[in-house]
Structure 1
Amino acid sequence: MTDLRVVVDGHELTATWTGENTETREAITDALPLEGDAARWGDELYFRTEIDVPAEDAQAEVPVGTIAYWPQGNAVCLFWGPTPASRGDEPRAASPVNVVAQVEDVSTLSAVDGGATIRIEHA
C-alpha cells in the first residue's frame, strides 16, 4: 500500500511508512504536505522544514530509497545512493537521521540536480 506521494522536479515517486520512529512520522504526517527547494549532497536531496523532533532510533547508514528526518538540520532527506560520507555504495547521512519511509523506485533521481523542488503529500 502506498502512503506517500513524493514529487521531485516532476518525477513522481511513491513511498510507504516504515514502522520506525513513530514520533517523527507523526510530526511529518501533521505537517503534510511538505514542500521545499532541496540541496543535493551526493545521492541525497534534503530540504529544511519547520518540524522539530529529537533523534529517535537514529542511524547514519540507511537503505537506498530512504526518506528520513535529520534532527540536526530540521530537514527531510531522500537517499538513493552514496553521499560524501559513504564508505562504499551505501547511502550515509552526515549525522544520524530518523528513518520514516521507503521510496519504492528511485531510478529517476540520478537525473535530478540540487535546487530541485520536493513535495511530499498523502497518497
Structure 2
Amino acid sequence: MRIRILWPAGQATATLRATPTAEELWRALPLRSSVSTWGDEVYFETPVSVEREDDAQQVVEPGTVAFWTDGDSLALPFGPTPISRGGECRLASPCNILGVLDGDAQVLRTARSGDPITVERA
C-alpha cells in the first residue's frame, strides 16, 4: 500500500506495511485534515479509530508513519519532539507503526500548523 500526503508547500509518499491499522487507514482514504506540529513532528486527525497494537513504539526513526491511537491521528516525526532525549524521535505515547516515508523526511519541515493536508492512495 502506497500513500501520498499533500500540503500547500510540499508532498511526500509513503509505503505502508500490512497491519490492521494501515488497512483501516487505507479504507478511509482519501482523507482531509488540518496540520498540527509538535517539535519536529507533523500530526493530524483522521476518521480512523483503532486500538494500540502489540508492537506499538514510542521512539522511532525519522520518517516513520505512525498512528497515535490516543488522538486518532497520523504522526509523522522528522526530528526531536519536546519530550525527546537527544536527537531521537520520541512520540507522545506508543503508536502503531504503519510504514515509512519514501525519501527525506525533512520535507515535512514545510508543513505549518493549520495547513490543510490530504492523504490519498498513490
Q: Scaled by the length of structure 2, what TM-score is found?
A: 0.90
Q: Which moved more, 1:83-92 or 1:111-120?
A: 111-120
Q: Which moved more, 1:4-13 or 1:36-45?
A: 4-13
Deviation of the 1:94 alpha carbon: 0.6
2:82 — aligned with what?
84
Correspondences of 1:47-66 after superposition (within 5 Å): 47-56=44-53, 57-66=55-64
State, as a whole percentage, how many aligned pairs show the same letter. Answer: 41
- Root mean square deviation, CA, Å: 1.5
Asked if 1 retains the 8 angstrom alpha-carbon contact of 2:10 and 2:110, the reply is no
1:32 — aligned with what?
29
Deviation of the 1:118 alpha carbon: 1.8
Unaligned runs of 5+ in 2: none
**Cα deviation code 1:32-90 (max 9, x no counterpart):** 11221011100111111221110002110111001111111111111111101111111
- Aligned mates of 1:72, 1:42 — CA distance in 2: 18
Correspondences of 1:1-123 after superposition (within 5 Å): 3-19=2-18, 22-56=19-53, 57-104=55-102, 105-123=104-122
- Aligned mates of 2:4, 2:49 — CA distance in 1: 22
- Aligned mates of 2:39, 2:91 — CA distance in 1: 10
Deviation of the 1:116 alpha carbon: 2.2
**Cα deviation code 1:81-118 (max 9, x no counterpart):** 11011111111111110010211222322233211222
